[in-house]
Amino acid sequence: MKRLIRSKNDRKLAGVLGGLGKYLGVDSNLLRVIFVILLFPTGVMPLIVTYFVLTFLLPNEETEIR
């Protein structure tokens, strides 16, 4: 069963987009570019708040409970 977790190795800030890329099977750098592009049309704050919340909600790769 696949679980959405923060990446331990593929991280630039907190590993949220690295974990999401691994979960979706997409390159995490592509997700980072999409994230930056979407920051401006959404007014910056919604995506930053979402990223911040996911940082605390998603478990780290090393602390994942199996």
Please state, in angstroms and as integers, the Cα–Cα distance from residue 6 to each residue in 2, 41, 42, 43, following that order.
13, 26, 24, 25
Alpha helices by DSSP H, 10-57? 16-24, 28-39, 45-57
User: Is 30 part of any domain?
Assistant: yes
User: Is 10 part of any domain?
Assistant: no
User: Is 3 part of any domain?
Assistant: no
User: Is 5 part of any domain?
Assistant: no
The answer to whether the beta carbons of residues 20 and 31 sit under 8 Å apart is yes
Number of domains in the chain: 1
- Mind listing the pLDDT tens digit of every residue in the chain (66 residues)? 888 889 888 888 899 999 999 999 999 999 999 999 999 998 889 999 999 999 999 998 775 555
Give the domain extent around 49.
Answer: 16-57
pTM over 0.75: yes
User: Is 4 part of any domain?
Assistant: no
In this structure, which amino acid lies at residue 63? T
